[in-house]
Structure 1
């Protein structure tokens, strides 16, 4: 993780020293579908929920090819019912990500004057929360974890100050939620974006 963050910082620092005069800040939102997934290595459960969610973002395009971005968001809750054999009693397990914060480096390519493609690399910190009804301790979790993030998207300029786009991001992949490492989680998002450029 530290190597990823150092690499992103080096890219950003190199771009900043070369073309500091091209800094272009922006802010916006992303809204769409998010996947909250958890699984147990003993095959007791493998729960995948697609829920509604969103984030706010603030970033700086250092030049036409390099940028940095900070985003924070939250997602909805997904449910799945389990037979008594899984947790000792029949239960419904609900999982969500209370919040996530991503710190990303952005590599972009202007395809035309109004359209560009980009790739994101960095890290995300997210709080996973799992509850059960009726309450079963073995089904419950509440952990804050950090992991590697990557994704790609496209952005179309509607005006000089406004753009719309779409992106896919893998925020976390198989982060360990318990001490033994048998329970792991994933978080991804596929969203539409709206961005204001300053």
Structure 2
């Protein structure tokens, strides 16, 4: 018989619980677990493309940063844990057995019909509550555009919608071509 799970989780309880699950992807919003829906092929392709583009840009510049695909978590606070579609962190490499990244510089979400409202609203505010967060990219495969939210030096958040050209991500000091994100879609 399966143990009943609590109605609300802390971030620590959620991560321990999620590591025990045989399959599926989950996030924790204000103490409540949300299962993430299966992904469409273009969603998965866009996630892979942005991760590859970020990884290549970092490698080309030889920066002490790493791009990570989805799978690792980002703790927002004591009862909220997200799993971005890609992220970049800088500094010494994260330990290989780590399950969370606490200092992302760039966070990426590829919107889907079921996640659009959360990705463009709640996560925007919550990701920028992290002191390390400087860029939040929202990739829209249907509209073939990227909304780039950037925290300026004075703390102001600015936004640009790009359908072509390059996305300047400084820090860490790289550029990613919008066309590379949508290649093959």
User: Fold match, TM over 0.5?
Assistant: no
Kindly name which structure, 1 or 2, has the bigger radius of gyration based on alpha carbons. 1
Give the structure with the higher percent strand: 1
Q: TM-score, normalised by structure 1?
A: 0.27
Pick 1 or 2: higher relative contact order, CA cutoff 8 A, min separation 6.
1
